Amino acid sequence: MREFLTVDRVANKIRQLRQTYSGAFLLVEGSYDKVFYERFVDKLACHLEITAGKPSSKQRAIEILAILETSNFQGVLAIVDADFDRLQNIPVKSPNLLLTDTHDLETMLIQSPTLDKVIAEFASEDKISQLNRDIREVLLSVGISVGYLRWISQSDGLNLTFEGIIFSRFINEKNWQFNELKLIQEVKNKSQAFYLKDEEIQQRLNSEKSNNHDRWQVCCGHDLVEILSLGLRKVIGTNNAADVEPNSLERNLRLAYEVAYFCKTQLYSEIRLWETNNPPFKVLRNDA
């Protein structure tokens, strides 16, 4: 099992680097985030530091930032997934902490024209025309229940397990039809939470869905990629499962994401504003 440095030790590591490095420090949650942001970052002017670890990489990023701020450390910025923070009206407590525009990095990729490029590569035009529905709309309409169930688990302290759930057990591979009751049962089985009543969870889901929250804030990007992966096998494509497995699709989405898309995001504007407010520190390349 991989051992992670404590948040204090990561903060100390950054303080030690400051002795020989005068540029900005950018804290990101994981290795995939680092690979993504590296494409837009001025590598000579900004050092990326991964905060991965327990209890969560996001929480660690926020704690490391707070430790450095307490000692008046200058030139550090953290970017974390928004998750459900906007929906729960959780305030951002530091001008050095920025959130993704949507629920997470993956939903930002799917919301952008990147998805169209990946679909053009793996899907069938004939099957898409037969579907006669907007693919993003399908992903969101199916993913919303999974997203709300994640939120309910978090807000109600249910501690349900979503890692490793098998999406084909509640989504029909042939037509993308979704069965909410089977979703609840799959998550209950994975979590060994047999004491929970299906009807009560369904009522909670219906109650949350009636609030009409922004679906891009509710849906988890990994879930949407799982749903897309299923669709590319039969509904809108003819791919083998191995060719469109979720990790591979996420990699393709990251690779297809262009600088021009990033420049149109709120996150990009907020990074530029941070640079303006924190001279001489710089994060992004001039041509980004």
* Gap between the Cα atoms of 94 and 100, Å rounded: 15
The answer to whether the CB of 243 falls within 8 A of the CB of 249 is no
**CB-CB contact of 257 with 277 (8 Å):** no
| pLDDT attached to residue 172 | 95
Provide the β-strand partners of residue 49. Answer: 27
For residue range 82-115, what is the model confidence (pLDDT) as tens digits? Answer: 999 999 999 999 999 999 999 999 999 999 999 9
**pLDDT above 70 for 23:** yes
> Cα–Cα distance between 128 and 63 in angstroms, integer?
45
Report whether pLDDT(1) > 80: no
Q: How confident is the model at residue 288 (pLDDT cuts 50, 70, 90)?
A: confident
Count Cβ atoms below 10 Å from residue 154 Cβ, excluding itself. Answer: 14
Model pLDDT for residues 36-84, shown as the tens digit of each residue:
999 999 999 999 999 999 989 999 999 999 999 999 999 999 999 999 9
pTM of the predicted structure, to 2 decimals: 0.95
Cβ burial, residue 176 (10 Å; 0-12/13-18/19+): buried
* Residue 172, number of CB atoms within 10 A of its CB: 14
- % of the chain residues with pLDDT over 90: 97
Q: Secondary structure of 117-142 in the HEC alphabet?
A: HHHHHHCCHHHHHHHCCCHHHHHHHH
Give the closest residue to 58 by CA, choosing from 31, 92, 28: 28
pLDDT of 123 reads 96
Query: For 176-220, where are the alpha helices, taking DSSP H only?
Result: 180-191, 198-209, 215-218
Token couple for 88: 């729960």
Average pLDDT, the chain: 96
